Amino acid sequence: MKASGRPEPDAPIRSRRYKVGQQEIVRGDCLRVLRRMQADSVDVVVTSPPYNIGLSYRSYPDRKEEAHYLDWMMEVAAGLQRVLRPDGSFFLNISGSSAQPWLPFELAVRLRSLFVLQNHIAWVKSISVGEDSFGHFKPMNSKRYLHRGHEHLFHFTLNGDVMLDRLTAGVPYKDKSNIARRGHKQDRRCRGDAWFIPYETVRDRAEKFDHPGTFPVALPEQCILLHGRKEASVLDPFMGTGTTLLAAQRMACRGVGIEIDADYVAIARRRLEEDQLCTEEG
């Protein structure tokens, strides 16, 4: 989930840790926290860093000079490369804006020095089919740009050879005759590289926990499913309000989330505790 990742130089943050079941929240600068983590210890990274397009985070200025932003992200990526297991997956959700479309691709190209781009997934948030539409369409008043209905989900691995559980993360066949005709053992096929995962409709920012860049819990759930490791260790270095850890908790995985903003940390703890309580009562 998009959130702040690094304090300003004159405002050092001492790390604090909180545990909710199998989930660990670390309040602090993700670069410092990553340096202290054990190497080769993480199965799946699912994260969405600040996009550098001027979103209003509480503790992070989301409008750095582009070269500075890219250099910083490469530092973070180097830390992720160190903690990722050899057969691990790094799912990076990022998007540009209509006026700044190149930044995600600039970052992806730079990351070639650290990772292999094994899959490029389009996270479709809203789509029009014929005369109908699905998902939440954010208003677009410009006469120059089209509505932005998708974001990038880059799937990086260390060597490009990670085996995935495509069927568990897949969907049933639409044409059931394909099952026997093509010799499939089950009614399940790969989901492909375009995932339609709409936002839940909200009326105001408070319903998004006063955070400018949440993503649906189904997105990290799908990433964890696709990687296909039971009881995986999951990391989100830009935790925000804890959606990745919520997905990890629901899938019986161990999670670590890093976040610099104390208010977002408090929200993440509350979400995890409430979800855990609902599970126990259910």
Architecture label for domain 16-129+146-265: 3-Layer(aba) Sandwich (3.40)
pLDDT digits (tens, 9 = 90+) for 178-237: 899 988 889 999 999 999 999 876 555 555 545 445 789 999 999 999 999 999 999 999
User: Looking at residue 99, what is its pLDDT?
Assistant: 81
* Residue-level pLDDT at 282: 63
Pick 161 or 201 by higher pLDDT: 161
Residue 241 has pLDDT above 80, yes or no: yes
Q: What is the rounded average pLDDT of the residues 32-46? A: 98
Distance of CA 151 to the CA centre of its chain: 11
For 13-29, the DSSP string reads: ---EEEEETTEEEEES-
Over residues 237-255, mean pLDDT: 97
Q: Model confidence over 101-116: pLDDT tens digits? A: 899 999 999 999 999 9
Average pLDDT over residues 127-143: 89
- pLDDT confidence of residue 63: 65
Which residue did the predictor score with more confidence, 25 or 61?
Answer: 25
Q: For residues 43 and 157, what is the distance between their CA atoms, to the nearest angstrom?
A: 11
What average pLDDT does this structure show over 3-23? 70
For residue 155, the tally of other CB atoms under 10 A from its CB is 21
9 pLDDT higher than 60:
no
128 has pLDDT over 90: yes
The alpha helices in the chain, defined as continuous H runs, are 30-36, 66-83, 103-110, 177-181, 218-227, 243-250, 262-281
pLDDT over 90, % of the chain = 72
pLDDT of 149 over the 50 cut:
yes
Angstrom distance (rounded) from CA 205 to CA 241: 13
CA distances from 30 to 191, 196, 270 (A): 32, 30, 21
What is the pLDDT of the chain when averaged over all its residues?
88
Confidence check: pLDDT of 177 > 70: yes
Supply angle C-alpha 25, 89, 271, rounded to 5.
30
Report the percentage of the chain scoring pLDDT > 70.
Answer: 87
Q: Report the C-alpha gap between 223 and 225 in whole angstroms.
A: 5
pLDDT of residue 7: 41
Check residue 54 and give left, alpha or beta (phi > 0: left; psi -120 to 50: alpha): left
- Residue 66 pLDDT: 87
Residue 60: the pLDDT is 52
d(CA 264, CA 3) in angstroms, rounded, equals 8
- Please give the average per-residue pLDDT across 5-22, as a whole number: 71
pTM, whole model, 2 decimals? 0.88
Judged against a pLDDT cut of 90, whether residue 245 lies above it is answered with yes
- State how beta strands 126-129 and 233-236 pair: unpaired
**DSSP string of 48-99?**
----SS--B-SS-BS---HHHHHHHHHHHHHHHHHHEEEEEEEEEEE---SS
**Cα distances (Å, whole numbers) of residue 155 to 128, 148, 258:** 26, 21, 20
How far is the C-alpha of 218 from the C-alpha of 70, rounded, in Å? Answer: 28
